[in-house]
Amino acid sequence: MAVWANTFENRLYSLENFLCSISLLVMLATVAFGVCIRFFDLPIPNVAEWAIVAMSPLTFVGSAMCSRMQMHISVDFIEQAPSELVKRATHLVVAILMLIFSAIYAWLGWSLFEDAILTGERLLDMGTPLYVPVCFFFVGMVLMAIHSVLDLARFVFFRRAAARVVEVAR
């Protein structure tokens, strides 16, 4: 079970890493292109809207990556806790709260996603459908919930907290 869960989570992390990398590339390219459009006064719509849209997967899927890598703010306290018992208790509480947080926001993200699809709202410059960035809000929270569930499973079934991951297996 532990091997399967770690393999699954590592593959999920690789997918998250790929999505965030593509998002960053889109942001860099569209901002640079937008600067060229303004500098040369080209009659092309402002593509910087896509940079704003690309921030959504970078933010929300990136937050799921942080939860996988144990890089969220609570880790600082967990590492500095005075005893092993306090560390374990804190890790358990944080994992449960992270699951609750991500589940609530996934539900809210799904509601917002449905509304964006039903209303057909679009962003102003390029007409990008609003459901595109909202979808990544939902996906990021679902990924964070998955990481939280796997972290809790490691903690409960294997009596150990996940080690802080600095480099995830390729």
Q: Is residue 168 part of a domain?
A: no
Q: Is residue 107 part of a domain?
A: yes
Q: Is residue 124 part of a domain?
A: yes
Q: 21-70: per-residue pLDDT in tens? A: 999 999 999 999 999 998 999 998 888 899 999 999 999 999 999 988 87
If we measure between CA atoms, which residue out of 94, 113, 101, 108 comes closest to residue 145?
A: 101
Tell me which residue range forms the domain holding 16.
Answer: 2-158
- Three-state SS for 126? coil
Q: Is residue 98 part of a domain?
A: yes
Q: Is residue 11 part of a domain?
A: yes
If we measure between CA atoms, which residue out of 160, 155, 159, 150 comes closest to residue 99?
A: 150
Q: Is residue 72 part of a domain?
A: yes
Among the ranges given (34-48, 93-107, 123-137), the one the predictor scored with the smallest mean pLDDT: 34-48
The pLDDT of residue 170 is above 90 = no
Structure tokens of 49?
Answer: 């809207």
∠ Cα 137 109 107 (to 5°): 130
Q: Is residue 102 part of a domain?
A: yes
Domain total in the chain: 1
Q: Is residue 167 part of a domain?
A: no
